[in-house]
Homo-oligomer: A and B are copies of this chain.
Amino acid sequence: MSDRISNETELIAAYLAPLAAAYPGAFGLKDDAALISLDPGFDLVVSTDPVIAGVHFFGDDDPRDIAWKALAVNASDLAAKGAQPVAYTMALALPDAPLKGWMAAFSAGLAEAQAAFGFHLIGGDTDRTPGPLSISVTAFGRVPKGRFVRRQGARVGDHVFVSGTLGDASLGLRLRRAGDAFGAGFSHAHAQHLLGRYLRPQPRQVLATVLHTYASAALDVSDGLLKDAARLAAGGNAGLRIAVADLPLSAAARAVIERQRDALASVVSGGDDYEILFAVPANSAAEVVGVCAGIGLRITWLGELAAGSGVSLIGADGGPHHVSGAGYDHFEGN
């Protein structure tokens, strides 16, 4: 008996079909297409965010983590648009016939993630590829009609907030590359926190309703705060000044910066935060703060959109604070 899965039918029936069992329109993954029937009163939101070994994750990462990330990055996009997950399709390109153990762990990771996020697998495709492992998820969410939260909806005067803490994932990536990246004696607990934030992004789904109720614009922070804040500001034909002192940092990120002052550049320019950056009209800002406190979600005020353009960081002295790097671009390199 081989430890490898030798045909596509077995791969689908044994490992993927169980992930589709609860969604009637998936037809048990036995059809060439899936059916989504949405209640009237909702629009469908579509996100396509693939992950590729060697680009978005390491080929030898735990398959459970790879699966989690493939879904989490898409759940994050949906949440930023004010949408709740419905279903996803997955095009899986495998460099080799997969080992049964790998595939069992990968599908267990998908099962865990889809239960956590509220997704069902409804279709897709599996192929052998001469390239690296690639997982292209297209995710579907639903948002009340007319309530999709655009990237380009903010206005001068709107208040800008971000959820959670920034930079943990990009610092976690540095640890994933080199366990001693932050020197001898760096706290094990801090290292675990940062690695966990890199390997297991937590999409801020709890924000979806807040966003489609209050936000004028939103996007998730996947390419670094500076780059994504510039997108939010540009979408409102506005500029934004962010005080370094206002950046929400975890204790672990603070500990890194204490050791390496230039780590602040990773915090504001590294990717993979999967926090949500959003704007709300000034007269809703206090209410949003209250609602988020009520649901136990940390959000941080970053500033007000002002006439002008671009995003600048302001140091303790009130002057510009320069950091190297300007966010992640797959064509320019990191």
Contacting residues of chain A (90-142) with chain B, CB-CB under 8 angstroms = 90-91, 93, 97, 122-132, 134, 136, 138, 140-141
Q: A27-B152, A52-B130, A131-B132 are in contact. List 9 more A-B contacts (CB 8 A).
A: A7-B329, A31-B151, A32-B77, A36-B44, A37-B43, A55-B127, A91-B91, A130-B131, A136-B136
Structural contact, A150 and B27, CB atoms closer than 8 A: yes
Query: A315 an interface residue at 8 Å Cβ cutoff?
Result: no
Residues of A within 8 A of B (CB): 5-9, 11, 27, 30-38, 40, 43-50, 52, 54-56, 77-78, 80-81, 83, 89-91, 93, 97, 122-132, 134, 136, 138, 140-141, 143, 145, 148, 150-152, 219-220, 222, 235, 329-332
Report if A33-B52 is in contact (Cβ < 8 Å); known contacts: A126-B330, A132-B129, A138-B138: no
Q: Given the complex of chains A and B, what is the CA–CA distance between A136 and B127 in angstroms?
A: 11
Q: Which residue of B lies closest to A31 (CB)?
A: B151
B residues within 8 A CB of A8? 329-331
Complex-state Cα separation, A231 to B81, whole angstroms: 39
- Quick one: copies of this chain in the complex? 2
